[in-house]
Chains A and B, each alone.
Chain A
Amino acid sequence: QQQVKQSPQSLIVQKGGISIINCAYENTAFDYFPWYQQFPGKGPALLIAIRPDVSEKKEGRFTISFNKSAKQFSLHIMDSQPGDSATYFCAAGIQGAQKLVFGQGTRLTINP
């Protein structure tokens, strides 16, 4: 019940296209959903996060869509660029707790 399931495992998108990564969770106590971007040899870097009181959050080319009833959330990268090529992790956390539960990661490749 503490799992976060992420798909796809890998994704190839053409430059300028839309990259979409999906996550699903079971534990309804989760109330914080961040996305992290990780480049090779680096630690995860916070990209954008959402709380369940909103259905969408946009920051630049990055948008999180959140569906509370379906217990799903997704990351959309608009106008994808080669510099976006990285591994993306969704995660979930609970108010008052400390740990983040991570998804399995998606290796995104943007072809020029």
Chain B
Amino acid sequence: EPEVTQTPSHQVTQMGQEVILRCVPISNHLYFYWYRQILGQKVEFLVSFYNNEISEKSEIFDDQFSVERPDGSNFTLKIRSTKLEDSAMYFCASSVREGNQPQHFGDGTRLSIL
């Protein structure tokens, strides 16, 4: 069964450094998402991406965050200057279409900011 793949599984970064989280969505999916989950808390929406542009974003997704689809398979989340509170699990998801369509999640990247 096709799956969403995320790398790395764990990223440790010094505060203030830039970090790039990578995702390979399911190949025939057109909508891509990033969510985060702070330890012990609920999953929170960050951003959705379609047709090479952001289609929706939350208030968490401020100017420190950016997303990109640099080629036909990868989808990345960049945090420019990491803060301690950015420490969380970051999940990539993809879906065939928007709206009421199943979103398939990767296993996440654990980001630890020191």
Could you say which of A42, A96, A104 contacts B41, with CB atoms under 8 Å apart? A104
Q: Contacts A44-B91, A45-B105, A100-B45 given; indicate if A94 touches B58 (C-beta within 8 A).
A: no
A66, CB-defined interface residue at 8 Å: no
Contact status B100-A32, CB under 8 Å: yes
A residues near B102, Cβ cutoff 8 Å: 34, 46, 49
A42 with B107: CB separation less than 8 A: yes
Q: Do A99 and B33 touch (CB < 8 A)?
A: yes
Q: Is the interface of A mostly helix, strand, loop or mixed?
A: loop
Whether, in the assembled complex, A70 has its beta carbon less than 8 Å from a beta carbon of chain B, the answer is no
Which residues of A, 20-79, contact B by the 8 Å Cβ criterion?
Answer: 31-32, 34, 36, 41-46, 49, 51
**A88-108 residues at the B interface, CB under 8 angstroms:** 89, 91, 93-105
B86-97 vs A, Cβ < 8 Å mask (1 yes, 0 no)? 000001010000
Contact A43-B100, Cβ < 8 Å, known A97-B56, A102-B42, A104-B41: no
Beyond A34-B102, A99-B45, 18 extra complex contacts between A and B, CB < 8 Å: A31-B100, A32-B99, A43-B6, A46-B102, A46-B103, A51-B100, A89-B42, A89-B43, A94-B99, A97-B56, A97-B98, A98-B55, A98-B98, A100-B103, A102-B43, A102-B44, A104-B42, A105-B43
> B42-78: which have CB < 8 Å to A?
42-45, 48, 50, 55-56, 58
The interface residues of chain B, by DSSP majority, are classed as strand
Residues of B within 8 A of A (CB): 4, 6, 31, 33, 35, 41-45, 48, 50, 55-56, 58, 91, 93, 98-100, 102-108
- Number of cross-chain contacts by CB at 8 Å: 67
Is the Cβ of B107 less than 8 Å from the Cβ of A43?
A: yes
How far is it, in angstroms, between the C-alpha of A96 and the C-alpha of B56 when the chains are bound? 11
Given A96-B98, A96-B99, does the pair A101, B104 have CB atoms closer than 8 Å?
A: no
Most buried by A among B50, B56, B105: B105
Residue in chain A with minimal CB distance to B44: A102
A4 nearest in chain B by CB position: B42
Known interface pairs A89-B42, A103-B42, A104-B42; A95-B100 also in contact (CB < 8 Å): yes
